[in-house]
Structures are given as structure tokens and as C-alpha cells.
Amino acid sequence: MDQRMKTLVYAGLTLLLTLSLIAFPDQALEAAIRGLNMWWEVVFPSLLPFFITAELLLAFGVVKFIGVIFEPIMRPLFNVPGAGSFGWMMGMASGYPTGAKITARLREENQLSKLEAERLVSFTNNSSPLFIFGAISAGFFHDLKLGLLLAVCHYTSNAIVGICMRFHGTRQERFRKQDSKRFSIKKAFQEMHRDRLKEEKPFGEILGDAVINSIKTLVMVGGFIILFSVLIKLLFLVHVTPAVAVIFQSILEIFHLPADLSLPFISGLFEITLGANMISQVTTDTLLQKAVIISFILGFNGLSIHAQVASILAKTDIRFSPYFFARLLHGSIAVILTILLYKPLYLDRKTINLNEVPVSQLDPNSSIWMSIFYWMKDYGPMLTILSIIIATCILFHRKRQIK
């Protein structure tokens, strides 16, 4: 596209967004508040500890230790260094965009090549158990069995995507000799110690940097969540989303899915939480139809997550296109697994009604995530405000020292 045409397109879209905000100020404000509540109640307090921990583990060389230990596993399976296991585990535990954040940091630390980083980010940026069990299963559907089905399909298909993406860029690396590394605790400790000695900052400064960098990233994430929450609402108000939904109705009918799921599906392609909530309110013949749509949008991540990942990767030389392709592949594989595992993991399991059974009597693994989710809803805003105050104090103190 010609640069002049790009200028016209960007300016036109921005002008349309501005006019829409002026035309629908009340609805835009309502959508912005909904996105803000989601961010400061759950997203910020749930991701902040993981982000700070990741920064500290990188600074103290623990990731180097993990890399040497898991090299014999990660290299044959995913064709990435052992340090990638850290991003994989943290991404599974805390959800997006942790995998992209850690991958970018590993690339900045030169622990990954460009192609290895593109492989790693393709399968480490997934949904968290907190979101699957707490928000979707318990919050929207009130059905813990669905959470187990979605989680198994989501993480299994993600691992399959990682195995498929191991072949990404192999032509460029054909003549590159890979060093064979064996399991060695001694070598892992030596690498960790050597990496820690490179960090000459005192502990207080390292901790402060970890807090500041983490909060900066989460503020950016919050901005994208609010922006897309408003954008989805405006597209609906100007009748763009309903028009596109008509096209998707024909596509869903090909796969024998209800046409009523088209609008929630489009919303889920933009923002997962909003789409999942709308899907839970649609009446269908079987829950499998809803589970299939949710599995796809969980694997696809939603354009809101894509924008967050693109913003994080923009600071590095990691390309976004392999990640986008991997998300389409993840969603497709997750749909197939959902259809195959629906009977053994959902229909054959005992029915659990959350309205009748206390949380303490539910499945231990599921109830843990539910308890964390409801704790976040109650105390998350306090933790968010406290963290921002601490970050502000650290920045103010540093500016005074510079003066």
C-alpha cells in the first residue's frame, strides 16, 4: 500500500473513531468502565506477581539454570533452547500476555535467536487456569465440568502447535550446527552464577526495576483492554458488527452451528471475555456448540490480545505474522479436540451445580482457581492501587536522586 494511502486510511479511521465517541459518549463511557473494571479487578493483580517474579528470575540467572536443565526436553520437542521452558510454564500459569513478555525479554537477553523467539511466542501465550475455571466455567456458565474440558483442549492443542511450529524457519537454520547438551546440575549452577555476576546493580535497584517494568507493561495492557472494550461497543452501535454477523451466520451454518452464535463469536474475536459472556447467554441444542466456539476464541486469543502482543514484540526483531498463524492453528486444533473429548470429559462426568454445592466440596483444583478469582474480584482493586502508588514513589525517589 502506498504511504499516502496509508496516511489517508489511518487518518480516516481515527476520524471515524472520534466521531463515534462524540455521537455515543454515554455508551463509550460505559464500555470503558467495563474494561477498566476487568483490568483493575482481575488482570492487574493476577499478572503483576508473575511479571515481577519473571524479571527477578532473569536478573538472578535462574532462567539460565532452568534453561540448562530443560534443554534436553525443549530442543527435541519444540526446537527452542531450554530457557524457553520458563516462558512456557509462566505462560500456562498466568495467561496472556506473559508468554510474549518473557519471550521478548529472553530475546533482549540474547538467550534466543530471532527464529527461536518466533517459535516460542507461538505456543507460550495462552489463557490461564484462573480465567478458564474462574471466569468462564464458574462465572459465566456455572459449570465446572466445562472448565476441565476447555482447559485440557486448550493446553493440549497449544503443545501441539508448539510441536508444529518447531519446523518454522528450519531452512534458514539448516546449516547451523546445534550443540548437544546433556542434563547437568553442576553446569546449570555455573551458568546461573555466571549470569548473575553480569548484573552489577544492587538488589534494591533490581527490585525497583522489576516493579516499574512490570507496571508499565500492565498499564499498556489495561489501555488495550479499555480501547477494545470501547471499540467493540462502537462497532455494534454503528451497525458494523451486526452486518458482519450476517456473513458469519452462513459460515456457522456450514458447520451446523446456530446462527445466534455469530454475534457473540465476532465479539469473541475482538475480546475473549466479552465474547465468552455473550456465548454463555445464547440458547443452543447442546453445550458442545458453545464449547466449540469458546475453544476457538481461546486459541485465537482475540484481537485485543493480538494488539498487546504486537506492542510487546515491536520492541524486538520478532515478527508478529508467525504468532498470528499459530493462533489460527491453535483455535482449529482446539475445536477438533473439543469435539473428540466432549463425551469423555463432559458427558461422562458427574453433573455439578454450583448453585447447590459449596465451593469447599468441589473438585480441589477447580475450587482453588475459583477462590482466587473471587478473591481478585474483592481485593484486586486495592492491590492495583497500592502497586501504582509504590511505583510512583519509586520513580519520584529516583528523580530526586538524579537531581
pLDDT in the model for residue 321 = 93
Q: Tens digit of pLDDT for each residue in 232-280?
A: 889 888 888 888 888 888 888 888 888 889 989 998 998 888 888 889 9
Question: How sure is the predictor about 28, in pLDDT bands with cuts at 50, 70 and 90?
Answer: very high
End-to-end CA separation in angstroms for the chain: 48
Q: Tens digit of pLDDT for each residue in 86-108?
A: 889 888 888 888 899 999 999 99
Average model confidence (pLDDT) for the chain?
85
Contact between 93 and 50 (Cβ < 8 Å): yes
- Burial of residue 264 (CB within 10 Å: 0-12, 13-18, 19+) is buried
Residue 191 has pLDDT above 80, yes or no: no
Residue 47 has pLDDT above 90, yes or no: no
Question: How sure is the predictor about 362, in pLDDT bands with cuts at 50, 70 and 90?
Answer: very low
Between 113 and 397, where is the model more confident? 113
pLDDT in the model for residue 277 = 87
pLDDT in the model for residue 356 = 47
Q: How far apart are CA 302 and CA 323, in angstroms?
A: 12
pLDDT in the model for residue 363 = 52
Q: What is the pTM of this model?
A: 0.84
Between 330 and 45, where is the model more confident? 330
Q: Considering only CA atoms, which of 228, 249, 392, 400 is closest in space to residue 311?
A: 228
Between 166 and 94, where is the model more confident? 166
pLDDT in the model for residue 181 = 58
Work out the average pLDDT over 71-100: 88
Residue 119 has pLDDT above 50, yes or no: yes
Question: How sure is the predictor about 55, in pLDDT bands with cuts at 50, 70 and 90?
Answer: confident
Work out the average pLDDT over 146-158: 93
pLDDT in the model for residue 401 = 74
- What Rg value do the Cα atoms of the chain yield, rounded? 22
pLDDT in the model for residue 349 = 73
pLDDT in the model for residue 351 = 55
User: Among residues of the chain, what percentage have pLDDT more than 70?
Assistant: 91
Residue 340 has pLDDT above 80, yes or no: yes
pLDDT in the model for residue 361 = 44
Q: Which range among 119-133, 149-163, 199-213 shows the weakest confidence by mean pLDDT? A: 199-213
Name 215's Cβ contacts closer than 8 Å, sequence gap at least 6: 48, 387, 388, 391
pLDDT in the model for residue 325 = 95
Q: Which residues of 345-376 are buried (b: 16+ CB within 10 A; e: fewer)?
A: bbeeeeebebeeeeeeebbeebbbbbebbeeb
Query: Which range scores top for mean pLDDT: 56-60, 161-165, 234-238, 383-387?
Result: 161-165
Work out the average pLDDT over 12-40: 90
Work out the average pLDDT over 19-35: 91
Between 399 and 262, where is the model more confident? 262
Residue 117 has pLDDT above 90, yes or no: yes
pLDDT in the model for residue 367 = 60
Work out the average pLDDT over 354-383: 64
